[in-house]
Structure 1
Amino acid sequence: MGRKLDPTNKVKRGPGKKARKQQGAETELAKFLTDEETGPKRLSSRGRKRREMNRSCQIKHHLCVCQLLTHVVVFQSCKENPELLPIERAAKKDKKLKEALDLESDEDDDEEEDDEEEQKSDAEMDEDDTIQTNTDEGERFRLPGAEESEMEGVTPLDLKSIHQRIKDNIDVLCNFSTKREPGKDRTEYISLLKKDLCTYYSYNSFLMEKFMDLFPLSELVDFLEANEIHRPVTIRTNTLKTRRRDLAQALINRGVNLDPLGKWSKVGLVIYDSSVPIGATPEYLAGQYMLQGASSFLPVMALSPQEGELVLDMSSAPGGKTTYIAQLMRNTGVIVANDANADRLKSVVGNIHRLGVTNTVVSNYDGRQFPKVMGGFDRVLLDAPCSGTGVIAKDPAVKTSKDEADIRRSAHLQKELILAAIDSVNAESSTGGYLVYCTCSITVEENECVVDYALKKRNVKLVPTGLDFGTEGFTRFRERKFHPSLKLSRRFYPHSHNMDGFFVAKLKKFSNVIPTAAAGKGNRSLQNSVDPTGNSHC
């Protein structure tokens, strides 16, 4: 019915009916009125009905007001001026009626303006309904033609349009039988989707194809979006020097906003924001905590070292996992922290001294040659060098710098390292005989393929990791079929677990004897794992 007008706060809205009727008003009104305002307006059916109702109400209102004013004016004129002649009273009455009608006309102008605003809002609502209807009943997503593709090569689409096309394309692929364009093959939609994803998220074609094989389309975008966001900063409490509650209180007093990492960790804290540099607090310098990603906790928890054991960390830099192992062993037993890069070992030594670790020996050997140096370890941790496809949020250069040759080289090195790590384990250990293999990559070639290769070449078996969460490893991937026990391994993804992409597998060595087939053909089969065409086989 229109908005209620507040007479005490009347807004000046331009000329009304009286101003339009005055002589010479056309030139003045031209300054205020536009062509749309002066031209005829086409009202909707609802607007016409409202206009007729308003006119009938106004006519009735005018009649009532005129009758009332007539009686009031006559009564007042008779009371105030009883000596006036009838003709004088009539003139005075007409004057007052005219003034009253002028006031009514001003109010009518205001009401008409309110009606116009209502009509405009109704028109906007009708337009919105029409747009929504058109959207709901619009044409289905169609693949761009040859001319459109050529135009995109000259003038690329903006990212917003590409993002919308990605969503529409995924929607079609998820409901391909009902939403596909007649005569179009699924491969055409997949090809367009890969191209758009590479453009929007800045990946090379090889890596995007790997991810499209790894994830369902509905999950793929979530993974790619998670790689654009940095993971939360996490720290590990050094229980050799303090307790988590005491450390948390000390950091809170320094203006650090933090929370426990999760029920799965008793030593982790997640840092939301801090008014002081978290890597330069007195507590950090005193060795009360270590800056360490949440995913790096997992392999040490799976290794579960016991007090008094002999443990090898084959690729130990920068020392986060080594010092965590020492913490769980309470500085008992012996840890050998090895790394092939002498420069990176400097950070290992620095962290060992800062955190108060006293049971660790540092060595600089190629891990593949380590069994010739020493063996007989109760437990071995192998955090193998990898392509880094799980830590793209930390290193965006991985998006374009990795290709098929990098994956092949990494997988070949990992297969050599895992065999050396198994040979360093003592299967007759009373408390151990375990190997934990982990990478910060999510490709199957660097994880399940490597573990499956080790199962065939050495006397080992997969055992549960002891981790209560994570995604099971693949037992089948495309045309490849792995050992059924690989479901005991665990995968971690940034979009699912809010941590870097990681793979963890725990193996138990049940015999120190190297199988004859592996001893005679191990090197040759490993060399043949990469054929001359460049294809990697598991």
Structure 2
Amino acid sequence: MQMSIDHQEIFSFPDNDSEENKEITLQEIQQRIKDITLVLSDFKKYRQENHSRTEYLDLLRHDLCIYYSYNDFLMGKLMDMFPLTELMEYLEASEVPRPLTIRTNSLKTRRRDLAAALINRGVNLDPLGKWTKVGLVVYSSQVPLGATPEYLAGHYMIQGASSLLPVMALAPQENERVLDMCSAPGGKGSHIASIMKNTGVLFANDANRERIKAVVANFHRLGVINAIISCEDGCKFRNVMTGFDRILLDAPCTGTGVVAKDPSVKSTKNEVDVQRCYNLQRKLLLTAIDCVDAKSKTGGYIVYSTCSVLPEENEWVIDYALKKRNVKLVPTGLDFGVEGFTKYRQYRFHPSLNLTRRYYPHTHNMDGFYVAKLKKFSNTIPMTKEQQEADEKELDEAITNAESVVNKNTDPMEKSVHEENELRRPLGKHAGKPNLSEVEIDLKKRKLVESKTKYIANEFEKPLKVQKKHKVDHKTVSLTPSKKSKNTELKVNKSDIPQNGREEEQQAKNLKVPKTKKMVENLSNVLEGKPQRKENKIKMKSKTIGQLKKDKKKIKN
């Protein structure tokens, strides 16, 4: 039973027996949430003597979980982070989707030209804010933004406003060597390439081979030509390559800041998921620090970002890195944002963590985000190799223990059903295809290899030297020279004639051509198979008549 406080009546705490028997509507729960928050705002005045503050908080958490569909663990974390009034604003803002934003690709166009082109197509948009020169916020559109000619030409990327912040904090310079350690689907990597103006080298890495395809596609569409795309485990990247000027680590997280995009986070994430992400993030951040060159003239910076609002995935990870490596926190260069926690419940973090920045949906109208910028001031590691190996083993064991806990928590019946479903219905490319044995798979692979090489010639074989066979045009016109012009006759060699039959040999023997310069050239062209120049018929007749007259004069003399 709740009473109006305007009538100077206080909220009465419900009994457990009546609560179980009575069915409560969402409107009643909403009203009870308001009443409890009012009681907690001035607890001495409105409290009941029989009930403590923890009982009120437990009831409030229970009602909030029902009303907003959160699990008990995540709601408890949010209640620890925010005051009650701010918590209500955060929960309400998380229920509303964030405005659609796009980033102009400065490699191909300018923001005002892109805005004019999209406005002509019926898109209602505005600049995102004074803090960015490439962002646009879209209010409504008559055409799908993922299929416009401008999108297909690579003039813009559909990207959240919060994902622009880590690249702005990184501030890459031209002709630098930059690593995007977890780059898929390529939004932040392409932003880095556009700021670098396609100079220097950008290494875009991601451990997921399927997601790396999106990076390749987006880089091709957006015109990024200074990138090298790799698919390596980020935790082992120090063994692959080091000596980078700047590194962006957008670490994998629980996604508690993007509840509006993925509402399943509210009910699926638990303490084990947070612990697993925390251990993975620590390992990735240490490897990122090891890959950066502290002696870089322009860089030596690492930017760490997550789309989570939990301190375990943000401040705890940075505080751990400050203890294990020679790094320090520096200002992010972002003009707005809430300062990071230096105190959280009974925990105390390094005082320089106030240089990090937090972003919330209820204050900045963007997804929940965290950004920290680190500067490496020495390449030496402030610990022995044995201690370093021990730390790595601890992290690996913590990750494996978290996975084992997840497997233990799942029921054996659900596990067996899940395994059967995986065996029966494979996902991805093999969906709907029969399950083959190892022998059948080997045979199938061999057939594929044979079919590939069956009709293809080896490109790098040495060319065979074959002697040229001269062709004779059998349709050549036989000119009739005079009988006594024996010196002007030319006999055709047998070696120049292809021996295809007796008739061809006899024709070649009987063939006699006058030995003039042009006729010899024409004959050689015929033998070599080259095209023959056709002279005018009148010129040919006049030449033959002139030749006959000369022969008659010689006979008379």
TM-score class, shorter-chain normalisation, is 0.7 to 0.9
Match of residue 144 from structure 1: 14
Per the TM alignment, residue 183 of structure 1 is displaced from its structure 2 partner at its CA by 2.3
1:454 aligns with 2:321: yes
Indicate whether 1:336 and 2:203 are aligned. yes
Residue of structure 1 equivalent to 2:500: none
Which residue in 1 is equivalent to 2:493?
A: none
Deviation at 1:519, TM superposition (A): 2.5
Residue 359 (structure 2) pairs with residue 359 (structure 1) = no
**Aligned-residue identity in percent:** 63
- Distance, in Å, in 1 between the alignment partners of 2:392 and 2:181 is 21
Q: CA offsets, 1:427-480, max 9 Å, x none?
A: 000000000000000101000000100001111000000001000000110111
SS in 2 for 1:227: helix
Question: How much has 1:529 moved relative to structure 2?
Answer: 6.9
Quote the residue 1:443 is aligned against: 310
SS at match of 1:436: strand
CA contact (8 A) 2:283 2:392 kept: no
Rounded to whole Å, the distance in 2 between the matches of 1:352 and 1:530 is 33
Q: In structure 2, how many angstroms separate the alpha carbons of the residues matched to 1:507 and 1:522?
A: 21
| TM-score normalised to structure 2 length | 0.70
Number of corresponding residues: 400
Alignment of 1:166-205 (within 5 A): 166-205=33-72
- 1:463 maps to 330
Whether the 8 Å CA contact 1:313–1:337 is kept in 2: the answer is: yes
Q: Which whole-Å CA distance do the structure 2 matches of 1:134 and 1:144 have between them?
A: 15
**Matching residue of 1:280:** 147
Q: Is the 8 A contact 2:169 2:334 kept in 1?
A: yes
Matches within 5 A, 1:405-420: 405-420=272-287
Q: What is the distance in 1 between the residues matched to 2:253 and 2:4? A: 50
SS of residue matched to 1:269: strand
Shift of 1:146: 2.2
Measure, in 1, the Cα distance between the counterparts of 2:131 and 2:18. 52
Counterpart of 1:128 in structure 2 is none
Give CA-to-partner distance per residue, 1:349-408, whole Å, 9 cap, x none. Answer: 011010111000000000001000001000000000000000000000001110000000
**Unmatched 5+ stretches in structure 2:** 406-557
Q: Is 1:522 paired with 2:391? A: yes
Deviations 1:231-274 (A, max 9, x none): 00000001111110010011001100000000000000000000
Letter in 2 for 1:444: P
Aligned partners of 1:496, 1:420: CA distance in 2, in Å? 33
Quote the residue 1:254 is aligned against: 121
CA 1:213/1:530 → structure 2, altered by over 3 Å: closer, same or farther? Answer: farther
Alignment of 1:33-44 (within 5 A): none
Shift of 1:138: 4.8
Q: Distance in 2 between matches of 1:441 and 1:134?
A: 38
Aligned twin of 1:228: 95
- Note if contact 1:458-1:514 (Cα within 8 Å) is conserved in structure 2: yes
Partner residue, 2:268: 401
Asked if the contact 2:4/2:10 (under 8 Å) is kept, the reply is: no
Q: Is the 8 A contact 1:438 1:503 kept in 2?
A: yes
Q: Deviations over 1:461-502 (max 9, x none)?
A: 000000010000001101111110000000000111000000
Using the TM superposition, give the Cα deviation of residue 181 of structure 1 relative to its aligned residue in structure 2, in angstroms: 1.4
Q: 1:219 to 1:135 in 2, by over 3 A?
A: closer
Query: SS where residue 95 of structure 2 aligns?
Result: coil
1:112 aligns with none
- Residues 527, 281 of structure 1: alpha-carbon distance in 2 compared, 3 angstrom cutoff: closer
Cα distance in 2 for partners of 1:475, 1:406 equals 24
1:290 maps to a residue whose letter is M
The one-letter code of the counterpart of 1:285 is L
Counterpart in 2 of 1:321?
A: 188
Select between 328-337 and 178-187 the one with higher mean Cα deviation.
178-187
Write the distance in 1 (CA, Å) between the matches of 2:8 and 2:401. Answer: 52
- Give the helix-richer structure, 1 or 2: 1
Summarize deviations over 1:309-347 as a string: whole Å, max 9, x none.
Answer: 000000000000000000000000000000000110111
Q: CA deviation at 1:516?
A: 1.5
Instruction: Give, in whole Å, the separation in 2 of the partners of 1:530 and 1:284.
Output: 40
How far the C-alpha of 1:523 sits from its partner, in A, is 2.5
Contact 1:313 1:380 in 2 (8 A): yes
What's 1:489 paired with? 356
Could you tell me which of 170, 173, 182 is aligned with 1:306? 173
Question: SS where residue 516 of structure 1 aligns?
Answer: coil
Q: Which amino acid is 2:7 matched to?
A: E
- Residues 280, 399 of structure 2: 8 Å contact kept: no
CA contact (8 A) 1:380 1:436 kept: yes
Q: Name which of 80, 98, 108 aligns with 1:241.
A: 108
Partner of residue 47, structure 1: none
More moved, 430-439 vs 522-531:
522-531
Deviation of the 1:531 alpha carbon: 12
The 2-side partners of 1:200 and 1:289 are apart by 38
- Does the 8 Å contact 1:457/1:522 carry over to 2? no
SS of match in other structure, 2:210: helix
Describe the SS at the equivalent of 1:299. Answer: helix
Secondary structure (helix, strand or coil) at the match of 2:179 reads strand
1:516 & 1:418 partners in 2: Cα distance?
17
The AA in structure 2 aligned to 1:147 is D
Deviation at 1:139, TM superposition (A): 2.0
Q: Secondary structure at the match of 1:140?
A: coil
Does the 8 Å CA contact 2:254/2:269 hold for their aligned counterparts? yes
- State the shift of 1:136 in Å: 2.1
Give the conservation status (yes or no) of the 8 Å contact 1:223–1:495: yes
Counterparts of 2:219 and 2:134, CA distance in 1: 18
User: Structure 2: how far apart are the matches of 1:347 and 1:524?
Assistant: 33
Whether 1:479 and 2:346 are equivalent positions in the alignment is yes
Amino acid at match of 1:508: K
TM alignment of 1:117-156, pairs within 5 A = 136-152=6-22, 155=23
Residue type at the aligned position of 1:273: S
CA distance change for structure 1 residues 140 and 248 in 2, over 3 Å: closer, same or farther? same
Following TM superposition, by how much is the alpha carbon of 1:514 offset from its aligned partner in structure 2, in angstroms? 1.1
| Alignment partners' CA distance in 2, 1:279 and 1:531 | 40
Distance 2:237 2:324 in 1: 18
Displacement of 1:528 in angstroms is 7.9
Whole-Å Cα distance in 2 between the matches of residues 151 and 186 of structure 1? 25
Question: Which of 356, 370, 380 pairs up with 2:237?
Answer: 370
Counterpart secondary structure, 2:14: coil
Distance in 1 of aligned mates of 2:205 and 2:71:
34
Q: Give the Cα–Cα distance (whole angstroms) in 2 for the partners of residues 282 and 161 of structure 1.
A: 51
> Where does structure 1 lack aligned partners over 5 or more consecutive residues?
1-132
Alignment of 1:490-505 (within 5 A): 490-505=357-372
Q: TM (normalized to structure 1)?
A: 0.72
User: Is 234-243 or 136-145 further displaced after alignment?
Assistant: 136-145
Aligned residues of 1:258 and 1:272 also touching (Cα < 8 A): yes
